[in-house]
A and B are shown apart, each in its own frame.
Chain A
Amino acid sequence: MTYFAGIDIGSLTTEVVILKGNDRMVSSAIDLTGTDCNEAVEQALGQALSRAGISRSQLSFIVATGYGRITIPFVDKKITEISCHGVGAHHLFPDSGTVIDIGGQDSKVIRIDKQGKVLDFTMNDKCAAGTGRFLEVMAGAFRLSLEDFGALSLKSKREIPISSVCTVFAESEVISLIAQNQAKEDIIRGLHRAVVNRIWSMVQIVGVHGAVTMTGGVAKNLGVVALLEEKLGGKIHIHSEPQIVGALGAALLAKRLFI
């Protein structure tokens, strides 16, 4: 049996997907990237191989993606996460025309064709606004987990606008609002709105084409998803584990390149 692996080394987490020759995903693993990409890859790859019940020598082709792709020496090919998210999203939701990927360090809006090939894309500037890191810092200001942070915003009755999308200034603004005893859920909804507005300006650049699929860790945030769906006026496709879509795309590309 032939197996392929995709490894997505992101700023926060490293994901691995093992694929069989028939395109069936046999295992996946997610681990924190930390400060050593190679160690994170070894950990996540080891877990994924163990879950698949195979050894590394059984992998016919490995593709690395994500910002840490350049540091991994043993892979067969390195491909950007933009191409990989396009292929992964198309595989999971074949009607996808637009992919919104919000990761820890950057966010992207990608337009794909009916084969999952990238037609156009845009990426955020070198700034944490509109990324998972922004939400992580804000959740920290409330001492909430990211899951609770997202869910709490859905209870808001009176959204409080946040005037800055700069992570540093927004945090100061949030601390002032907390000191004024404003309801947490209202502040958090305002923060989510700031992120969504930032993403929305990127969506405007690429345009909405076909069904929209969201990938990356922020797709788990119910508050962001709800506001994005409100903007789009429709539902967004989200896989049960949106963080592995890039690694899945990398594994699919590994198979294509091998064949």
Chain B
Amino acid sequence: MTRKDYLLNQKQKGRHLFGVFPAQYPKELLWAMDIVPAEIWDPPLEITAANAHLQPYICSVVKLGLELVLEGKCDMLDGFLFPHTCDSIQNIASVIRDCLSENKPCYFFYHPKNPHGKAARDYYVLELKNLTLSLEKQLGPLNPDALKQRIQQGHKISGLFGEFYDLRAKGKLDVGNREFYEQLRRGEYLFPDDLIPELEGFLARNKGKEKKGLTPVILSGVLPNPPEILTLLDDLGVSVAHDDLLIGSRRLLVPPSNLKDPFKQLAESYFSMPPCSTKGAPIVERREYLLHLIKATGAKGVIFNVVKFCEPEWFDVPNLTDELKKRGTSTLVLDTELNQGLSGQMKTRVEAFVEMIS
């Protein structure tokens, strides 16, 4: 079933469809209100209409999101959610709400940056409650038991993804890079009742078959697009042993919380996620996280696959590559535009990197 068919099917079941822009948001809260969050990262469109409205130096995640709206492909949605990920998403949120949403409700979620102190946690809980109050005006009251159940499902999903990652790092998951991320990314729109059995089936089919002789690397950046990069790595005998992707480990590997208050549980999970540029994590934390992944997996190098003009990511990349090189880790930086395929030059860069680390 295609993503669109799945979403239409969910709507027929009486669920509410929300278009959610990247990246960090309380998915469990939306599930509890019977909302299916359909994340908008890289819809397979050619950017034409959006170029007329945006500066050339806006990243293609934002451009593709706007293109989706301008082409009328969001008509089936019941609302939008815009997490405060970066200035470009913040700006496009205002444009869509003020000019393009045609009375579709638009919600905003401001998560704290550089989240270390108690004030940041209190603020996050307050934001969760504010979002709940806003959603309740449209959809009716939140059922606290439903929230607890969805949080449990969220933990189950994180646990399953964690098992994927662990098995892959040990070479005991019999799937290539492309297949791995295709499965991972189905979590961007599947409702947990469907996602959990699918992940369990995937794990049962593919665990335990050891793969040997592959060169391990860490993949960093926002998302693995163009997906041809993953295919190329498969062809070159390279395994992504772990990742530091925004669509991947940075938000999926959430440890469970034992707190009783569900809002505090959600907050605890948010603050336990790995460091991320979109949360203003200090560069030292990001470096240490990468060094930990390298050590744990025996990775031979780190590939930074960064979306062109992604300001939060690009700000960190020069410092991160410098720090890793000083510690003897090889790095490759690729600046990619979504859905543009792999140029011969880009392939050469990847191949040369693999020759270098093999």
Contact = CB atoms under 8 A, between A and B. Distances in A.
B330 A120 contact: yes
A82 B352 contact: yes
Nearest to A83: B355
A70 B352 CA distance: 14
B52 interface: no
Interface stretch (B207-215, B220-228, B342-350): B342-350
Interface residues of B, number: 14
Given A123-B349, A125-B335, A83 B356 contact: yes
Interface string B279-311: 000000000000000000000000000000000
Contact of B355 (A79, A105, A122): A79
Contacts of A117: 356
Contact of A82 (B333, B344, B348): B348
A216 to B, nearest CB: 14
B335 A80 contact: no
A121 B352 contact: yes
A119 B345 CA distance: 19
A103 to B, nearest CB: 11
Nearest to B351: A80
B325 A82 contact: no
A81 B349 CA distance: 10
B355 A123 contact: no
A171 interface: no
Contacts of A83: 352, 355-356
A106 interface: yes
Contact of A119 (B335, B344, B356): B356
A80 B330 contact: no
Contacts of B344: 67, 70
Interface string B82-98: 00000000000000000
A83 B356 CA distance: 8
A125 B346 CA distance: 9
A105 B333 CA distance: 19
A126 interface: yes
Contact of B345 (A70, A120, A122, A126): A126
Nearest to B354: A80
A80 B355 contact: yes
B325 A67 contact: no
Contacts of B352: 80-83, 118, 121
A125 B351 CA distance: 16
Nearest to B318: A205
Interface string A111-134: 000000111111101100000000
A106 B355 contact: no
Nearest to A206: B325
A154 B345 CA distance: 33
A12 to B, nearest CB: 15
Contact of A123 (B330, B348, B356): B348
Contacts of B325: 120
A79 B348 CA distance: 9
B345 A121 contact: no
Interface in B316-358: 325, 330, 333, 335, 343-346, 348-349, 351-352, 355-356
Contacts of A125: 335
A256 to B, nearest CB: 13
Given A80-B351, A120-B325, A120-B330, A106 B345 contact: yes
A118 B356 contact: yes
Contacts of B346: 126
Nearest to A79: B355
Given A80-B348, A119-B330, A120-B325, 4 more contacts: A67-B348, A82-B355, A83-B355, A120-B330
16 contacts: A67-B348, A80-B348, A80-B352, A81-B348, A81-B352, A82-B348, A82-B355, A83-B352, A106-B345, A118-B352, A118-B355, A118-B356, A123-B348, A123-B349, A126-B343, A126-B345
Interface of B: 325, 330, 333, 335, 343-346, 348-349, 351-352, 355-356
Interface of A: 67, 70, 79-83, 105-106, 117-123, 125-126
